[in-house]
Amino acid sequence: MAGDWIKVEENMPDKPEVYIMAARLGIDPDSVSGKLLRIWAWASRNCNADGVTSVTVKPHLDRVTAVTGFTDAMVEAGWLVVDGVSLRFPNFDRHCSQTAKDRANTNRRVSRHRTNRNGSSVTNETVQPLQKPL
């Protein structure tokens, strides 16, 4: 669906968890970052609001990334929890839930409104220099 998105922190490729996963899997951190994006996009489409999915077969998520053991590495890094018959993505509500997306969109809209309002009032006025008295 056009317009779907997930939140990603700009420092994600340099997080210790990414380096832990890269070392465990024998792939570079940039590959781990890209594959995490694929997993989190999948989770955004397939998890309920609290980040739980009934997909219990970890190899399915390994197929999403095309890396055997990727989900085990996510568990080791703390980014995935095997919870009995389901998988849970910690902090899902903060980053990937519809509420988080709505909150981010509202913040972006408010910021754009403030920039437009303040920017136009500042850039459209010309201030004349003060004249020295004679």
- The model's pLDDT over 74-107, given as tens digits with 9 standing for 90+, comes to 999 999 998 777 888 888 776 554 555 555 556 5
CA 69 to chain centre: 22
Q: Find which of 9-13, 23-27, 49-53, 61-65 is predicted with most confidence, using mean pLDDT.
A: 23-27
CA atoms of 120 and 131, how far apart (whole Å): 26
pLDDT in tens, 42-86: 888 888 766 777 766 788 889 999 999 999 999 999 999 987 778
Percent of the chain with pLDDT over 90: 36
> Per-residue pLDDT for 122 more than 60?
no
Token pair, residue 57, equals: 């077969």
Helix ranges (DSSP H) in the chain: 16-25, 29-46, 58-65, 70-77, 92-95, 98-123
Mean pLDDT, rounded, for 117-128: 57
